[in-house]
Amino acid sequence: MTKLRLAIVGAGPAGIYAADLLIKAERSFDVSIDLFDHLPAPYGLVRYGVAPDHPRIKGIIGALREVLDRGDIRFFGNVRYGIDLTLDDLKKHYNAVIFATGAIKDAELDIPGIDLDGSYGAAEFVSWFDGHPDVPRTWPLEAREVAVLGNGNVALDVARILAKHADDLLVTEIPANVYEGLKASPVTDVHVFGRRGPAQVKFTPLELRELGEVNDVDIVVYDEDFDLDPASEAAIASNKQVMVINRVMNQWRTRPSGEASRRLHLHFYARPIEVLGSDGRVAGLRMERTRPDGAGGVEGTGEFRDFPIQALYRAVGYFGSPLDGVPFDSLHGVIPNREGQVLDDHDQVIPGVYATGWIKRGPVGLIGHTKSDAMETLSHVVRDQANWWAPEDPSEESVVALLQSRGVDYTSTEGWHHLDQYELGLGEAAGRTRIKVVERDEMVAVSNQQPVG
């Protein structure tokens, strides 16, 4: 029987679901899958891109863990594609590769002052509070008044973590350095700005409800933002999710406030025009008031307002990163592809190279989209058998020997179990569920049962 040796680069949900779906699919060939990731631990943005106070994420991790724990997919962590393992290496040992590297950088926002000190990308901050090993251990939390630009779930996550008292996060797995940083924050007011109205937000109802339950934080909304146009009223009437969001925010309008030590403000119909500075640092934000344009968008009103702030976070989307030897669409931050088949500069399919997840379609959609996305890509992998690579050495031992010959201290599924138990032990000793290990060297050492420190 023909055997498919498949490499998947990226061990987040997109990569793991692609591997799982192919293992379970009815097919006319045998399959062997190796999953590679530059991080020592699996799960990608589920571990490093979601706020730690979302308990439902544990359910997603549980499902992903079940896939890896079956033992029919090999995981190689702490392997840097393009450095430890190249496209030429993959061609020597596999029939095909699927890139599932996601989108982890912040999309740009081109307004004056955006590069001032105190202006940050939300993705960087999320990586910090989630204990990503490749970001600095400290974060400059010195502002009393902070702005967050964006009306999606990432914006809410950032705003909530900034406003929340650090002690209320001890029930989560936040690392010790993150707790200490947030504990010392002097923040009193967090302002979230969106260009459109409250009926056009990208928050989920669950995220919004959670916001209203944060201890000792008043949620402040403004009556001027709820003079709804016909399109907004129609959206509320026809979409259950929008209806729930509208109901929650209208409840906040009547809720007494002023007693909490911190405030989280939601501003709508507000377009950022300029980040104002003083001595090279963020000192304010100039917004233009917008209004519905009758065609589903907004237009400027010519009314400008300045808000005093000392820090700003842009949560206006994620953006993919180019990969060595693989075409890249620098405008959209994705690998150019047709239903997951990677295309060259002449829009021709490149044999053996595929993409799935956010690096394929951009940073949109939830877990359900990731599964259907993977199925589309895999359908082509299966049908493209005649165009698979013909590797020189497709044996499962060959890639292990290659990594060892290069001195790559890779981790495995078994190693992840060691790290998982170690983090749970750290948490138990401190009276918490888990404390996440942050340092890459420590993660690798624990995973491979080497001396720590």
Q: What is the pLDDT of residues 208-265, one digit of tens each?
A: 988 899 999 999 999 999 988 898 999 999 999 999 999 999 999 988 877 899 999 9
pLDDT of 367: 66
155 is in an annotated binding site: no
For residue 307, pLDDT over 80 is answered with yes
pLDDT of 39: 98
CB atoms within 10 A of CB 363: 22
Percent share of the chain, pLDDT over 70: 98
Looking at every residue in the chain, the average pLDDT score rounds to 93
316 is in an annotated binding site: no
Q: What tens digit of pLDDT does each residue of 345-386 get? A: 999 999 999 999 999 998 876 666 788 889 999 999 999 999
365 is in an annotated binding site: yes
Q: What tens digit of pLDDT does each residue of 391-411 get? A: 999 999 999 999 999 999 999
> What is the pTM for the complete model shown?
0.93
367 is in an annotated binding site: yes
Q: How confident is the model at residue 207 (pLDDT cuts 50, 70, 90)?
A: confident
pLDDT average, residue stretch 321-348: 96
215 is in an annotated binding site: no
Q: What domains appear along the chain, each with residue ranges and CATH number?
A: 3-104+320-410 (3.40.50.720), 106-317 (3.50.50.60)
Could you give the CA distance from residue 403 to residue 423 in angstroms, rounded to a whole number?
27
Percent share of the chain, pLDDT over 90: 81
366 is in an annotated binding site: yes
Could you give the CA distance from residue 400 to residue 391 in angstroms, rounded to a whole number?
15
Q: What tens digit of pLDDT does each residue of 13-30 get? A: 999 999 999 999 877 789
CB atoms within 10 A of CB 104: 23
153 is in an annotated binding site: yes
**What is each CA distance from 354 to 240, 358, 379, in whole angstroms?**
37, 13, 11
Q: Which residue has the higher pLDDT, 202 or 83?
A: 83
358 is in an annotated binding site: yes
pLDDT of 406: 97
Q: What tens digit of pLDDT does each residue of 272-293 get? A: 999 999 999 999 999 999 999 8
